[in-house]
Each structure stands twice: as C-alpha cells, then as structure tokens.
Amino acid sequence: MPPKVLIVDDEAFIRTLIAQTLEDFEDDGVEILATGDGEEALRLIRSKKPDLVFLDVMLPNLDGFAVCQQVKENQTTAATYVVLLTAKGQEFDRLRGQQCGADQYLTKPFDPDEIVSLAEKILVH
C-alpha cells in the first residue's frame, strides 16, 4: 500500500498549497488526497486509511475537532497522524485539539517547509 496523505481544508488555496508543497513526495509514490468537507474527510480516512492528515479546524458539516475525535476513538483509524491546522489568534483551540487527541498543531499561516518536514517525519521514517 503506498503511503497516503489527506488534506482537509474548506479553502481550496490551502489544499492546493499543501498538495503542491508535497509534490515531490508524489514522485516517490505517495498518494495525495484532498477534501473540503468534514464528513467526507471522515469517510476518506475510514476507507483510504491515510498515514497523515492535515486537518483544518473550521470545516462545513463536521468540524476538525469532531473529525479528529472520531478518528482517534476508532481503533482502526486511531494510529493516523493528525495535524490540526488552527488559525492565528485562536490558540485556545490547542486545548480542544489536545482533548480530542490531535498529534500536532500548525498555526496558519504556517511555513510550507514545516509541512515538508512533517511529511518526511511521518511518511519516510
């Protein structure tokens, strides 16, 4: 099974940004998936089993906290590495993120190089 990364953000440019940043990983066989909807994200996580998920907090239908909580509560998906994307000035979201079991947080605007480092850490090692 090739490693997979799921990008979940309702803003298309953030999805493009992360996907393009991870383009070199695609050449190495990493599959990049993307969606802008919380419920769709949950469905993709259950069906595609991505290794790494970049998950925005504010999403239509199901927010990032709820998605993360359901992923971490389900034994078949609990090992998924979830990176919550929180907005600048919403640092209190971190506490909620911790409570729902997120593995890491990135504050927008994040450094694209951080995305690469994270992907290397999770997908390569």
Partner 1 sequence: MTAFSLSRLLKPNGDFYRLTCGILQGLAGAGIAILDLDGRLLAGSEPQDGRQRYPVWVEDQVAGWVAGGDPAAAVAAWISYAAGQEAQKKSMAAELIDRYRELNLLYHLSEHLVSSPDTLSISKVALAEAVRMIPAATAILLSRPSGQEALEKAAVLGQDYAVISSCCLIDRVLQSGRAELANAVSAEDYFDQANGRKISLACAPLKTEKSIQGVILLVDSEKRVFSAGELKLLNAIGLQIAPALEISRLWQLAIEKAKIEREFQMARRVQESLLPRAMPRFPGWSIGNRWRPARNVSGDFYDLIREDQRLGLVIADVTDKGLPAALFMVFIRSAIRSSVNRGSPLAEEISQANRLICQDSHQGLLATMFYARLSPDTGEMEYVNAGHNPPLYYNAQKNQLQLLARTGVTLGMDAHMSYTSQTIHLLPGDMVLFYTDGVTEAINAAKEQFGLDRLMEVVYQLRACPVEQLLDGVDEALADFTQSLPSFDDITLLALKRL
Positions in the binding site for partner 1 (CB under 8 A)? 13, 16-17, 19-21, 23, 26-27, 88, 109-113
Task: Identify which of residues 23 and 73 has a Cβ nearer to partner 1 in the complex.
Answer: 23
Close Cβ partners of 91 (under 8 Å, ≥ 6 residues apart) = 107
Report, in Å, the least distance between residue 70 CB and partner 1. Answer: 28
What distance in Å separates the CA atoms of residue 9 and residue 46, rounded to the nearest whole number? 18
What distance in Å separates the CA atoms of residue 62 and residue 14, rounded to the nearest whole number? 18
Task: Identify which of residues 95 and 113 has a Cβ nearer to partner 1 in the complex.
Answer: 113
Task: Identify which of residues 66 and 116 has a Cβ nearer to partner 1 in the complex.
Answer: 116
Report, in Å, the least distance between residue 88 CB and partner 1. Answer: 7
Close Cβ partners of 77 (under 8 Å, ≥ 6 residues apart) = 45, 46, 49, 71
